[in-house]
Amino acid sequence: MWDAESRLRLRIYCTERDRIHGRPTARVLMELARSTGLAGATLYRALEGFGRSGVQRSWRYFETESALPLIVEFVDEESVIRRYLNALDHLSFQGFLTIERVEQITWRGPR
């Protein structure tokens, strides 16, 4: 049996080099997710990408300090995502994020 629920998916884009108050941004984002009660979080490391700056970031280019693109993703109820965004605002986060309405499908086993 399948259960479907409306949720929001929040994706936050940063790089391995980004920092919030001197700490790696991705780590701060994950810790904040846990402390604000999000159901879960996933951190993806991209192999290549570029943003508004036009700077190409890739595993193929030797860099003394890695700056690969990262995506931190959360799927949860809208109220929980909004609470997370309010907490993020208090950290003076500056970056790019997207929010999408998604349908969360959960398999509950045969009827």
Per-domain residue ranges of the chain? 2-107
Instruction: Say if pTM beats, i.e. exceeds, 0.85.
Output: no
Residue 94 pLDDT grade (very low, low, confident, very high; cuts 50, 70, 90): confident
In contact, 18 and 95? CB cutoff 8 Å: yes
Which CATH code for domain 2-107?
3.30.70.120
Q: Which two tokens stand for residue 51?
A: 């943003």
pLDDT in tens, 33-80: 999 999 999 999 887 776 677 666 665 555 555 678 899 999 999 999
Which residue spans within the chain are E strands per DSSP?
2-15, 19-20, 23-24, 42-45, 48-49, 57-58, 69-76, 96-107
